[in-house]
Amino acid sequence: MQESSPITAIKGIGPKSALNFNKAGIYTAGDLISYYPRTYDICEDPVAAGGLTVFDDGRLVAVEGRIERTLSVRYLRAFKITTGKIFSGGVYLDVTWYNMPFIRSQVKPGVTYVFRGRIRAKGNKIFLQQPKVYDLYDYEQLKKTYQPVYPLVRGLTENALKKALREVFFGSDHLDLSEDYLPSDMLQEYDLISRKDAVRGIHFPEGEEMLLKARRRLVFEEFFFFILMLKQMRETRLRKDHAYQLLPAAQTRQVLDSLPYELTGAQMRVWNEVSSDMASDAVMARLIQGDVGSGKTVIAFLALIQCAANGMQGALMVPTEVLARQHYEAFLNMCETARLPYEAVLLTGSLKASEKRAAYEKLESGSAPVVIGTHALITEKVEYRNLALVITDEQHRFGVNQRETLEQKGKTPHTIVMSATPIPRTLAVILYGDLDVSVIDEMPASRLPIKNAVVGASWRPKAYQFIAKQVSMGHQAYVICPMVEESEEIEAENVIDYAQTLQKSLQAMIPGICVEYLHGRMKAAEKQSVMERFSANEIQVLVSTTVVEVGVNVPNATVMMVENAERFGLAQLHQLRGRVGRGSAQSYCIFVYGIENEAVKKRLDILSSSNDGFEIARKDLELRGPGELFGLRQSGELNFQLADIYADAPVLQSAGDAAAKLLSEDPGLSSECGQQITHHMKMLASSAGNHDVL
């Protein structure tokens, strides 16, 4: 079997079950082995039930004991609830399973088992929820082993994934992984194990040491190929013909004079760097890095104006349709205020066919000097008359290949990429190896620091009262939930039910208050309608998933409340917090944790002590132990599968050195080894183009 073999070539996977794998982006055997675990489960020693209290709420524990009476099954609407009592260490512990009536026949009264599940507290009582049941011998074998836990989609189970992986690695028609992408001298110099051992070790680790070695090799590989592609892009850019010279224009001064605020010193420094680069005959390629709310967008708008004033076209690509429309309207308003005649077009996937055709015609004819949109900007149908400037917002949301595709729409366009990911400059220089780096390291003076609170779920009624008070003052609020619909497996606040509950609570305090929900599964037109109504204050409280994480701008919103905050990465929580504090009023962020756990609280308290994204990232890293490197990844970072740009900084440095050394010895990658590496990079780019969903 080869990595390019379709998933149906694996024994036990037919056309129907293949569809479930496809939902997870798994189409080939190669996709399967690159579908890495999101964390690892380590079975710990059993504890006595008598030592557990309500303060263990949410804790995963193993309890050794026996059921003395046959389990009972009752029905509650669509749920089948199985309950009983575990006798352990001289006390009884209640146990509950949902929709698992078969467990009744599997657990024999009087037999001692190990029950492993989460402790849940209700008032002063605790119970064990949804535990897996092991006989004593089996559990002893599992202890101290690393059991992979995979990200799942509807229809795809852990068992199906593990069965397919066992077939790929150990079946009669197993995958041939004898060929390594990296040369042997590189493996030796950087102390890396073979790819075959690494891929097998990440899925079937034989202990912590093997797991760490496997992960380090795969992290190195991710960084190495990413950096190599960037370095090649830079070389290609430097070999190109001279760029368009987009000279400084009086129109940008008109915009600056018409703004209701003055740019900060950092914004002016970065703008001068950008303006000077655009006026040069060398192709600009610059990263603008700045924390949430530091004012990167106005720099992008000024660059688009300078481009238009020189008779050329500029494009701004953003990751979501909601953000694209907001930028489009903000740009038009800015031009109107400054009395500038430039026409901009909006181009997103959800536009009607007639609207798209009209946009295509204006771009091809050159009558529209500015286009703002999503990845629809890079489709084959879009032709530009004279594209001279390409700006990519929230760079980490787009792959290198997609950014390059947009740049290829013009002859030699200048390039700006913008990112709110707080990466130290030393790492940014490596990660954005094809770009010059500008940092906006100063926040607008008009922005009051956000006041933060980290609280348990018992504080929720007070939070509702606080939201009602802010709404009565004319302000608005976001409430973020981690899920769209209720799950039997995970107790986390869900958007749809939560919005209904919150509406009832708030209407008792403010009759007529409007609470709506927003999530990624809604149609684009529905999402746009909700955001427009929220922007117009027709909706006072918006209950949402993280679809609002990137760039939504509602200055009147002063409260951000995040439910189950422990389920989000700190970088993502910091991004979410950036949705408030965008106006002149004092803003607040309330992080509600659903698990009473001192480690959870300590981690979230980092957000209370700082509004600085760089400082948050640094402190988060200090708190993380080696085992947590395999946990849920921080959202808001570049799209690496395993690599963590903070925790893996030494590996990132090594990968950067290796890429630079390879290109110095073999600039054209024309050697046999270089050709092999080039082939793999093309495969990576092709895979990203086929499977990525923006």
Question: pLDDT tens for residues 546-563?
Answer: 776 555 678 899 999 999
In CATH, 44-143 is 1.10.150.570: no
Alpha-carbon torsion 625, 627, 628, 633, what sign? Answer: positive
Angle separating helix axes 208-239 and 195-203, nearest 10 degrees:
130
Express as a percent the part of the chain with pLDDT over 70: 90
- pLDDT category at 115 given cuts 50, 70, 90 is very high
Q: Where are the domains of the chain?
A: 7-40+157-229+648-691, 44-143, 240-440, 451-630
Give, as one character, the DSSP assignment of residue 140.
Answer: H
CATH of domain 451-630: 3.40.50.300
Tell me how crowded residue 608 is: count the other CB atoms within 10 A of its CB: 14
In contact, 459 and 604? CB cutoff 8 Å: no
CATH of domain 240-440: 3.40.50.300
Alpha-carbon torsion 227, 233, 238, 244, what sign? Answer: negative
pLDDT over 80 (residue 10): yes
CA distance to 13, 233, 404, 671, per residue, from 236 (Å): 43, 5, 11, 19
The CA distance from 310 to 245, in Å, is: 8
* pLDDT of 193: 96
* pLDDT of 398: 56
Query: HSE (CB half, 13 Å, CA atoms) of 271?
Result: 25
The CA distance from 589 to 479, in Å, is: 10
- In the block, tokens 């029905």 appear at 75
pLDDT over 50 (residue 627): no
Tell me how crowded residue 508 is: count the other CB atoms within 10 A of its CB: 11
* pLDDT of 629: 46
Average pLDDT, the chain: 85
First to last CA, the chain: 31
In contact, 88 and 48? CB cutoff 8 Å: yes
For residue 290, list its beta bridge partners.
440
**pTM of the prediction?**
0.67
Size of the chain in residues: 694
* pLDDT of 84: 94
In contact, 597 and 59? CB cutoff 8 Å: yes
Dump strand ranges (E) for 89-224.
Answer: 91-98, 112-122, 125-135, 146-149
Tell me how crowded residue 265 is: count the other CB atoms within 10 A of its CB: 11
Q: Is it true that 44-143 and 240-440 share their CATH fold?
A: no
Question: pLDDT tens for residues 404-440?
Answer: 777 778 788 998 988 877 676 667 777 777 678 898 9
Which structure tokens are listed for 162? 């593990």
Buried b (16+ CB within 10 A) or exposed e, 148-170: bebebeeebeeebbebbbebbbe
pLDDT over 50 (residue 498): yes
More confident: 112 or 603: 112
Question: pLDDT tens for residues 171-198?
Answer: 888 888 888 889 899 999 999 999 999 9
- In the block, tokens 């997870």 appear at 24
